[in-house]
Structure formats: C-alpha cells, structure tokens
Structure 1
Amino acid sequence: MNIFDCIVVGAGAAGLSTSLTLGRARRNIGVFDDGSNRNRVTQESHGFITRDGTKPHEFREIGLKELEKYPSISYFNTKITEITKDIVNERFIVRTKDDEEYSTEKIVLATGVQEVFPILSVRDYYGKSIFSCPYCDGWEMRDKPLVVIAEDEEYMLHMTKLVYNWSKDLVLITNGARISEQSALELQKRNIKIMVEPVKKLIGVDGYLREVEFESGETIARSGGFVIPTFYRPISFVEQLGCEIDEKGAVVTDGMGRTTQKNIYIAGETEKVLPSSLMMSAGEGNKTAVAVNTDLTMERF
C-alpha cells in the first residue's frame, strides 16, 4: 500500500497550490483528481496574474507539470470513492474507483463545487456565452446585449448591478420568480428591462446565445449573459468524515484550513460551497498547506 504524509483530493487551483507548497516542504504527497473541475467548460480563465486568458486545461497541465519537479509528489488521475479512518494507526485509508488503496496521515479536501442552473438549457451555453462570474468573463461580454438570469431577489439586484459595469444593455430574467416593486423601479431607472415570465427555451448555435423565448412565445435577441446557479459539493466526504458545518453550509475551520476533525483540512470552493476565482483558491490552498506542514512539523519534531 502506498503511504503518504498527506493526500490532496482535487487538482484545481486550490489542490495544485496545496500540493506544490507541501512538495516544496519535502512532504510525501498524493494528489488525486478525475478531471471534473467546474471550470473545464469555459474557454479561458481570467484574473490570475501571469496566466490571464489561459485555457483551463492548459492551466491545469502547467500546474501538474510544475509538480513533476518534486519527487515527493505523486499524481493519480482517478476518482477517490471512499475515505475511512484507521483509528488504531491514526491514519486514513483512501480507496479509488480502480480498487486501489492508499494510506495517509492527513487529508486535504479540495474537490470544489458544481452548479445547478435555474434553466436546464443554460448548460448548453455555459462557458461560451453564459457565465456565472462577471469578474472572470465580464470583459469579454462588454457592451453586448446581455441577460441576467436569477430567481432570488437579492441575487437579481446584486448580479444586475454588477453586470451593469460591463454592459448597459441588460434584461433581467426572473423565470417566473417575483420581484418587488421597489427593486423593479430601481432597475428600470437604469433602463434595465425585467422579464418575469418563465423561459421556454434558449436559442443559439454551438453554445453561443442568440435569442431567449418565453412561454408566451415572445422572443428577445441577446448575445449572452450571466446566471446565478445553486452550488453544491459533488462529493460528500465533508459529511462522511464528520466535519462540522455551519448554518450556511460552510465547513467550520480555524481560518487556516483545519476542520473540526483532526488531520482533515479543506481548501478552495469546497469550504463555503461558493464560487471563487482561481487566484483566491490558489491562495487558500497555499494557506492550508502551511497549516498541514506546521502540524506535521510540530507533531514529529
């Protein structure tokens, strides 16, 4: 059985950053990833200094290539299906879909989050002409006729006001959800049209939006837009391992990635079940790595 100081579950920005820092600290690290990262559908990644405009798969390949320099880091392109506690030896046993087993002293969960969209067909356009982060993709959509799709009034206002910085040609689509008169007036003062009627379908070609059709048959021409999804953890290791979760669904930590379960750490979007930029996730991964290495150092000194 392969034995590691730490296994990092997930090789997105958070997991790669964690692994790099721990590898440079001469720790024996196993990195596991199945290629299901959330940003794989988008054309380019933005906002990461020195890597602005890099395609997500290229960003990942560059990160994995950097890890190869450190002989103590092993990468496994597979899915972890089970993590159990070896109470006697104070370790964890990790099993993969290939029925391989690995032993580790510490675990970092960096599996990220996935989206559920208010309109199913958004998935056909997501990453090409419909996005969830204006900071990531607003520049590319600037001055185009856009939609904002949201069903919660707080999010309707927040996202519409935010996207207004990049394009003044906006239509808010609530997909049947109600919006208060006060909020509607606030947006209409900026000439932002509000469509409360449910959407029948999105119309476009090869992922690029052209029109939105409503149940009444009315259509509006749009070139893309932004959507507020619901996010969830795709893998339930947080719950299975007994990590404490607060009332908002976020994992309780000490601010350095340590969870309430000894030897289990968390990094990136997995912690709060909210989207994050590559830059922020990488920073959180670095921080968590420092916590892991500090604990290994103090426990073994």
Structure 2
Amino acid sequence: MNTSTKYDVIIIGGSNAGLSAAMSLGRALKRVLIIDSGLPCNRQTPHSHNFITHDGWRPAEIQEVAKNEVLSYDTVQWLAGTVSGVTGYNQNFEVEVAGHSAAISAKKLLFATGIKDLMPNIPSFAQCWGISVIHCPYCHGYEYRGQATGILMNNEHTADFARFIQNWTTKLTLFTNGPSKLTPEQTQAVLNRNIGIIETQITSIDHTNGQLTQLRLADGSTHSLNALYARVPFEQHCLIPEQLGCKLTAEGYLEVTDQKRTTVPGIFAAGDNTSPMRSVAAAVGAGNLAGAMIAHELINEQ
C-alpha cells in the first residue's frame, strides 16, 4: 500500500458488504482501499445459508473467494488493521489506522463495519451464538426444522415472533428468563398455539462445540433443546460514524438513504450497521448498491 496515494474511496470493513462495494468501485475504475480488522460478526457460524450459489458454505470461505476476486482489480487494495480515527470532510477525509504513523486520505468513505451483539450474562451463550443459539429463521430455521426449539424473548413482539417460528417447528417453548412481560391476551394466544411458557431464569447452557443440548434453570431443572432463538441488543461495532455526526435511527442503526448515504456528506454506510436484515445476501446487495452510488457521486463531482 502506498500511503501517499489519495484514494477515491476508503472502505472500512472488509466483510460481505465492504467487498461487494469494492467490486462495484473497482469496476468503475476508482482507487479503493479496504481496511479490515479481520473480525466479522459471523466468524463462528459454521455455515451460511439463503445465498444462492454459495448455500451451505462457511462464511470464511465466501469471504476468501470474494476477497480474491475483488483484489484482482488493480485499483483495489487491502490493508489489515483497525481504523482509530477519521477527520476531514467530503472530498478530503483523513483516516488513521492503529499502528500506522501516517494518515491515509480519501474523497469518500464507506462504513461497512457491522454491529456488535451484546450477549446476556448466561454462561456458554456466546459460545453457542451463531451455531445453535440463533437469530434468524431464514438463515438457520431449515436446519432446525421440526426439532426441539426455544425462544429467548420477553417483550411486546414475543407472541408474534413465537407464532412466526412455528412455521419451522411445532416443538417450541418460550423462555422469558424472568417474569413475563406478555399481556394476558398475548399469553393466552401463545398457549393456544401449544407453545409452553417458562419464566424461570436461565442459569447456563450445556453444549458441545457450540451445539446446545439443554438449558439449566434457576430452580434446578433442565430443558433439552436443539436450538434457541434469541434477539439480543446491539451497538454499533464502530463508533466513528457517530463521532463524525452521522445520525442513528431509533433502533440504533446508521441512518442512510436508499442510495446508502449517511447524514454526513461524503460518508456512506452499508450492511448490518444500517439494517436488521442480517444475511450475507442482504449485505452483498447493499454493498453492491453503495459502491455504485459512490462511483456515481464521484463521477458527477469531477
């Protein structure tokens, strides 16, 4: 990498959205630098699904193939590292990378940095996350179809989500992990669908290499399961966009237009940091669009 080069675009985050954007930009003859820390959120997920041509591949395999394809474009470069700071404005951004003395300049920025899941204080929950403790039925539901499944959830959306998951399995139990917040009507609706409700607190998860076998509860009982759906809170994996003035939505995602522009001129965002649609296919599509829109803006500003 030549740090004296002023890039057209620096992409922060080199997973699916970032790589997809880089391909669009590389094919538009734009000088691109991808900076990646090497810690994608799906790094312990064994298989990626619902992505045509790559169904069942390991996420790391998809990213390796994508990286090789993207770096075949001679205007696209890669830097392994963590961005520590950004200053500047549209057409004149300076990006600092931990361990590098010189800042790197770019006309535009794309943040494809994802989100950070905030795990509950349940032993072994994190070790099972993305393997048998799962968030998305479109990504994982087929593999656990018809199997004993739990839902760890306790809010106003719980009853609707439980009904939704019954599409994949009728062997379903709702764990509220404490006193239920469901209304009497919601509780009855869940029970009417033969979904059990357990309010006892979960104390730990038994598993083998991330594949859960049972939940241990505070009253000493256990509950055998093959899978557990959980909707955990999150925060932005990278706080720099907020520091630069990029607005967040009420849900905590970076606010973007249909063209993936943030609220700060010259800064774009794509992928999990902008949308609850957390899948490889969605990230690739968002990155592809972001790359095209950035190229369009660069061409118009020439």
Runs of 5+ consecutive residues of structure 2 not aligned to the other structure: none
Aligned mates of 1:177, 1:133 — CA distance in 2: 25
Contact 2:122/2:204 (<8 A) preserved: no
**Residue 171 of structure 1: CA displacement?**
0.8
RMSD: 1.6
Corresponding residue to 1:76 among 79, 100, 110: 79
Distance between the aligned counterparts of 2:284 and 2:179, measured in 1? 36
Match among 182, 185, 200 for residue 185 of structure 2: 182
**Candidates 94, 108, 111, aligned match of 1:109:** 111
Aligned match for 1:171, one of 170, 173, 177 = 173
Look up the SS of the partner of 1:162 in the other structure. helix
SS in 1 for 2:64: helix
The residue that corresponds to 2:99 in the other structure is 98
> Once superposed, which parts of structure 1, at least 4 consecutive aligned residues long, lie more than 2 Å away?
117-121, 244-254
Would the aligned equivalents of 1:30 and 1:74 in 2 still touch at CA under 8 Å?
Answer: yes
Query: Once the 2 structures are TM-superposed, how far is the Cα of residue 14 of structure 1 from its aligned partner?
Result: 1.0
- Maintained 8 Å contact 1:118/1:150: no
Amino acid of the structure 1 residue aligned with 2:278: S
Is residue 162 from structure 1 mapped to residue 169 from structure 2 by the alignment? no
> Alpha-carbon deviations, 1:46-67, whole Å to 9, x = none?
1111010110110110110101
Query: Shift of the alpha carbon at 1:86?
Result: 6.1
Bigger mean CA offset, 108-117 vs 248-257: 248-257
TM-score scaled to structure 1, two decimals? 0.94
1:230-268 per-position Cα deviation (integer Å, ceiling 9, x unaligned): 121111012111113343333333310112211111111
Give the residue type in structure 1 aligned to 2:225.
Answer: R
Which of 177-186 and 10-19 deviates more? 177-186
- Stretches of structure 1 lacking an aligned partner (at least 5 in a row): none
Paired residue secondary structure (1:271): coil
Q: Residue in 2 aligned with 1:193?
A: 196
- Greater helix share, structure number: 1
Structure 1's 203 and 14: CA in aligned 2 closer, same or farther, altered over 3 A? same
* Partner of residue 128 from structure 1, selected from 114, 117, 131: 131
Aligned residue type for 2:243: Q
Identity score, percent: 27
Q: 1:11 to 1:39 in 2, by over 3 A?
A: same
Deviation at 1:213, TM superposition (A): 1.4
- Normalising by structure 2, report the TM-score: 0.93
Shift of 1:177: 4.0
| Equivalences, count | 296
Report the equivalent of 1:146: 149
Q: Is the 8 A contact 2:122 2:203 kept in 1?
A: no
- Residue matched to 2:297: 295
